[in-house]
A and B are shown apart, each in its own frame.
Chain A
Amino acid sequence: QQQVKQSPQSLIVQKGGISIINCAYENTAFDYFPWYQQFPGKGPALLIAIRPDVSEKKEGRFTISFNKSAKQFSLHIMDSQPGDSATYFCAASKGQAGTALIFGKGTTLSVSS
């Protein structure tokens, strides 16, 4: 049972373009939705996160859009750069302290120069 579904599996974007990665979740008890960025051979690093009380959060070139009724959230990377080439994971968790994150399967982004 996959509780967080992520798409697409891979994405190729030209430099300067917009990268969009989508995630859908099933459990309405989830109330924390982070995105992680991972470079080959490294551990994931938190990129940006959102809670369901807001529909959008922006940090620099990265924006999360959240649709509570559709149980979907997405990551938008504006002005994509070759340095953004990495694997991106969405995740979700319930509000209880210390609860583990449930991850999507990841999207490999390649930004061509």
Chain B
Amino acid sequence: QVQLVQSGSELKKPGASVKVSCKASGYTFTTYAMHWVRQAPGQGLEWMGWISPNTDNPTYAQGFTGRFVFSLDTSVTTAYLQISSLKAEDTAVYYCARGHLTPKARLDPWGQGTLVTVSS
């Protein structure tokens, strides 16, 4: 079955970097895009952006430019989210979600989420 499995929780200090992975299985990785969604503690879902294997040109939502980088490694069917210069307000659960090769399409399925905690 289609499945997205994310890497485990991370505890980082302010200023550090983190790379979250999202391993896909059960479908042809190169025929779907990957979206990233953030959920801060006790808050709602926030769409961060998406990356397509066709263009390899990520789109970032407002507020997620500069320190956030999406990437794909098709050889291991894995998507990555890297966040640099971490701040306390980056503390959140980060989800990957499969999309189609257009941002118009639905997000399904979702990974289980990765908790990133930023604290000194």
Say if A and B assemble together. no
